[in-house]
Amino acid sequence: MSARGVRPGMLRHKENNPADAQAGKRQRTATGAGRQPLSAAAQPPPPPPEEEPMVFAGREDVEALLNEKMKGKNKMDYKGKSEQMMEYIKKLRACIKWLLEREDANLIEIGNISARLEAEGKEHSETVAELKKSIDEARSINEELQKQYTSLQETLKKVEAEKMDALRALEEEKDARTSIESLKNELLEDLKRNKLEEKRLNDQIKMLQDTNKRLQEYNTSLQQYNSNLQADATKNAETIAKLQKEKNTMVETMNGLKDHANSVKMQLDLAKSLQNEAAKQKNDLLKEVEGLRMELQRVREDRDNKSVEVDSLMAEIGTYKEITGKTAMELDGAMTRTTALEETCSSQRETIKTLEIKLAAASERLKMSDLTALETMTEYENQKKMLESLQSRLEEAEQQILDGEKLRKKLHNTILELKGNIRVFCRVRPLLPNESGAVSYPKSGENMGRGIELMHNAQAYSFTFDKVFDHSASQEHVFIEISQLVQSALDGYKVCIFAYGQTGSGKTYTMMGNPEFDDQKGMIPRSLEQIFQASQASMLEIYNESIHDLLAANRMAAQDGGSSKYSIKHDANGNTHVSDLTVVDVTSINEVSSLLRRAAQSRSVGRTQMNEESSRSHCVFTLRIFGVNEGTDQQVQGVLNLIDLAGSERLNKSGATGDRLKETQAINKSLSCLSDVIFSIAKKEEHVPFRNSKLTYLLQPCLGGDSKTLMFVNLSPEVSSTGESICSLRFAARVNSCEIGIPRRQTQMRSSQ
Ligand SMILES: Nc1ncnc2c1ncn2[C@@H]1O[C@H](COP(=O)(O)OP(=O)(O)OP(=O)(O)O)[C@@H](O)[C@H]1O
């Protein structure tokens, strides 16, 4: 049999048990066509020989079997044909068996189906009854629903109307939503920006916190350093006091010695004069002795001559006697002459003797005076040596005191720097002809060079500052004291030096001086000489609360543009910028000098009764210094502000009216704002009114920041100015007590740019 219908799942084993086939036959008869079930008496046929079971999968297999044709080797091959027939019959049997089985199965199936149909018919009639019932119910529900529908339609209408309203509201809401959306977007943008800002601020806060931490550490170390310095300062003060004491005793000793030296000198002079006298006497005596000697010689010669004469006379006598011819008279005469000559001789001998005695006494006296002179000389030499040693000791002591004073000053400066105080130097100008002075200075003690006293209405007022320069202080001397500050600007600090004082007290002289004469050059030209590195300079004045550019190419045009275009701004580093201000690059002192000349010509100078050349504006000179330390590659950016303020005199004293009155009021306003600012800094108030005037706003970084600030308080020494001077000094004392913070250097590495 071919494998044609063999399909997985459908292949079945052919029943090879004829009993089963019989059973199938019987069952067919029992169910479908009245066949009886298999009786127990039926005998099973003997088992057929072993065969391959036949398998039928479906109708196709049966049709294939039916269409099968007999094939023999030839027409006469009956045996082959009969074998084939046998085979075919076998297949047919199997087929019939399969069909019977199928029929049985179908009969069972039909039985099952009819039972099911019956049950389902029953079920159907039940369902129909139920359905009928349900339909009735549905009808009543329907009626109910109809009613509901009508009411719902009414409701719907209402709802429609509401819906329309709602739609309109929705439209409106949509519009609102759109605007909210755009608002939301804007807010989101804002939020983004705010977040960025917040991030930036957080970074900044972090940076500030870091800086703060570093500053705190720095502060602690500074405090430590400060306390060390304080200890050193105390020690030094003690040393200085000791030295001062020593100096005083030395000065006393010195004075005693000086007196002694003077008396010794007098003694010496006396001795010298005695010596001179003795020498003179000696000379006289020597001359006398010489004369006596000569006289003696002459007398001796005379005597010798006389002796010769006597001898010759004696010989003559002898000859006369011998010759005898001579008269007795001649002989007597000759005898008398001889006696006289002998007398003369003896008297001359006497004289020689006395002269010899006198000579011996004179020689003795000369010897004595020589001895005294030698003694005096030795004493003089000793005293001179002692004086010299005392003088060198005094010089040493003075040097020690100077060194101690220098150290004290340095420590004082360091302490002030650490405290961040504004330093104040007081300078008093010389008296003019016809002026009488009312100022004095302590001549000794610790306030020497730092104190000043004024007499006003029979009352003495004393002040002390970091330094007081009297009328004799030269520009050079004053500059030496501020050159350290100028150096600080070169080192990258912000430095501000301003001069305050009444009209005619010497502010302009101090700050600018007379640049034409070397010895009269003020602080500005001298500072510039110190700084000859590449720098930028600008110069402005504040006149009647408005800013003017002193270096503008065309001053008038710049002024026409309105001073309002010059606005003051401070950046994050505390640097001040004035918009539109002419800033000139300067690389040499010559360039700066010509700028200064230009600025001086530009300055508004008015006239008041107080000072013919009084400047009625605040003049602000700013120098920005850029430098690079080639060794460390560190860049420094220092700023030097040199400010000549307008006169601080009070209104009634200036005698101003009209425009001058307006100027004075403006000056007074800005100076009073300056004092407000100083007072509020001194009181450590939270709000400092820097913005109340152009001057204070411009000075804000110097007064409220981290710069090194110095104020010159200039004074007129004459009696009529004492009232103003006391006001200035009181203000200066207040400024001196202001702590404005620790100065900070502005540096960065060159490579970071
Ligand atoms: N230390 C000094 N030595 C010599 N002369 C001086 C000194 N100080 C000031 N003077 C002279 O005193 C006069 C007034 O000085 P100066 O003009 O500097 O005063 P000022 O305070 O700037 O006045 P103003 O506020 O009106 O500008 C000038 O003639 C000046 O040369």
> What DSSP string runs through 43-90?
PPPPPPPP-PPP---SHHHHHHHHH-----SSTT-HHHHHHHHHHHHH
Residue nearest to atom 1 of ligand 1 (CA): 429
505 lines ligand 1 (CB under 6 A): yes
Q: What is the pLDDT of residue 629?
A: 59
Residue 615 in contact with ligand 1 by CB distance below 6 A: yes
Query: Which of ligand 1's atoms lies nearest the C-alpha of 509?
Result: 18
CA 727 / ligand 1 centre spacing (Å): 18
| ipTM exceeding 0.90, yes/no | yes
- Is residue 432 lining ligand 1, measured as CB closer than 6 Å? no
Ligand 1: nearest atom to the Cα of 645: 25
Atom of ligand 1 nearest to the CA of 644: 22
Name which residue sits closest to atom 12 of ligand 1, judged by CA. Answer: 506
For residue 441, the tally of other CB atoms under 10 A from its CB is 16
Q: With a 6 A CB cut-off, is 614 part of the ligand 1 pocket?
A: yes
Token pair in block for residue 733: 């004392």
What pLDDT, in 10s, does the model give residues 152-189? 888 888 888 888 888 888 888 888 888 888 888 888 88
Q: CA-CA distance, 509 to 506, in Å (whole number)?
A: 5
DSSP state of 38: P
705 contact partners, CB below 8 Å, separation of at least 6? 494, 574, 740, 741
324 is in an annotated binding site: no
**Which residues are CB-neighbours of 682 under 8 A, at least 6 positions away?**
734, 737, 738
680 a known binding residue? no
CB 451 within 8 A of CB 463: yes
C-alpha torsion 284→289→292→297, nearest 10: -140
Q: What is the CATH number of domain 485-752?
A: 3.40.850.10
Answer yes or no: is the C-beta of 513 below 6 A from any ligand 1 atom: no
Residue 621 CA, ligand 1 centroid: distance in Å: 18
CA–centroid distance, residue 600 to ligand 1 (Å):
15
Task: Identify the pLDDT of residue 23.
Answer: 39
Locate the domains of the chain by residue range. 228-401, 485-752
330-383 pLDDT, tens digit per residue, is: 667 767 777 887 787 788 778 778 877 877 887 787 788 778 778 878 887 887
Contact 646, 615 (CB under 8 A): yes
Residue of minimum CA distance from atom 15 in ligand 1: 506
Please give the distance, rounded to the nearest whole angstrom, from the Cα atom of residue 428 to the centre of ligand 1. 10
* Sheet arrangement for strand 459-464: 439-440, 451-456, 459-464
What's the 443 CA to ligand 1 centre distance in angstroms?
25
Could you tell me if the CB of 503 is within 6 A of ligand 1?
A: yes
- Per-residue confidence (pLDDT) for residue 65, from 0 to 100: 83
In the reported structure, the alpha carbon of residue 508 is separated from the centroid of ligand 1 by a whole-number distance in angstroms of: 6
What's the CATH code, domain 228-401?
1.10.287.1490
Q: Is the Cβ–Cβ distance between 593 and 567 less than 8 Å?
A: no
Q: Which residues of 342-353 are buried (b: 16+ CB within 10 A; e: fewer)?
A: eeebeebeeebe
The reply to whether ligand 1 has any atom less than 6 angstroms from the CB of 721 is no
* 507 annotated to a ligand binding site: yes
562 Cβ partners below 8 Å, 6+ apart? none
CA distance 666 to 712: 21
- pLDDT at residue number 12: 34
Distance CA 205, CA 198 (A): 10
Q: Which two tokens stand for residue 558?
A: 């710049």
Three-state DSSP state, 241:
helix
Atom of ligand 1 nearest to the CA of 512: 18
pLDDT confidence of residue 663: 62
Task: Give the count of beta carbons closer than 10 Å to the beta carbon of residue 716.
Answer: 29
Q: Specify the pLDDT at position 523.
A: 93
How far apart (Å, rounded) are the C-alpha atoms in residues 666 and 435? 30
Ligand 1 pocket, 429 CB below 6 A? yes
Provide the residue type at 337 as one letter: R
Other CB atoms within 10 Å distance of the CB of residue 711: 26
For the chain, report the end-to-end CA distance as a whole number of angstroms.
102
Atom of ligand 1 nearest to the CA of 503: 25
Residue 606 CB neighbour total at 10 angstroms: 18
Instruction: Quote the DSSP letter at residue 39.
Output: P
Residue 665 near residue 671, CB atoms below 8 Å = no
The answer to whether the annotation marks 410 as part of a ligand binding site is: no
**Choice from 431, 469, 509 to test ligand 1 binding pocket (greatest atom count within 8 A of CB):** 509
User: Nearest residue CA, atom 9 of ligand 1?
Assistant: 506
Q: For the purposes of burial, counting CB atoms within 10 Å of the CB of 463, is it exposed (0-12), middle (13-18) or buried (19 or more)?
A: buried
Q: How is the chain split among helix, strand and coil, in percent rounded to 5?
A: 65, 15, 25
Measured in Å, residue 206 CA sits from the centre of ligand 1 at 51
Q: If you write DSSP's letter for every residue of 345-412 in order, what string do you get?
A: HHHHHHHHHHHHHHHHHHHHHHHHHHHHHHHHHHHHHHHHHHHHHHHHHHHHHHHHHHHHHHHHHHHH
- Confirm whether residue 475 is marked as ligand binding: no
| Token representation of residue 661 | 């009155």
DSSP code at position 466: S
Q: And the tokens for 185?
A: 């977007």
User: Residue 122, Cβ neighbours under 10 Å: how many?
Assistant: 10
The CA 543 to ligand 1 mean position distance, Å, reads 20
Q: Which segments in the chain show pLDDT lower than 50? A: 1-46, 533-534, 563-564, 604-614, 651, 654, 752-753
Round to whole Å and give the CA distance between 520 and 615: 18
504 CA → ligand 1 middle, Å? 5
- Print the SS3 string covering 634-646: EEEEEEEEEEECC
Q: Is 501 in the pocket of ligand 1 (CB under 6 A)?
A: yes
d(CA 406, CA 400): 10
603 Rama sector, left if φ>0, alpha if ψ -120 to 50, beta otherwise: beta
On whether 71 is known to bind a ligand per the annotation, the reply is no
- Output the pLDDT for position 39: 35
Query: To test the ligand 1 pocket, which listed residue (475, 508, 648) has its Cβ within 8 A of the most ligand atoms?
Result: 508
Question: How far, in Å, CA of 730 to CA of 741, rounded?
Answer: 22
Residue nearest to atom 13 of ligand 1 (CA): 504
Same fold yes or no, 228-401 and 485-752 = no
Alpha helices per DSSP H over 420-441? none
Q: Among the atoms of ligand 1, which is closest to the Cα of residue 505? A: 21
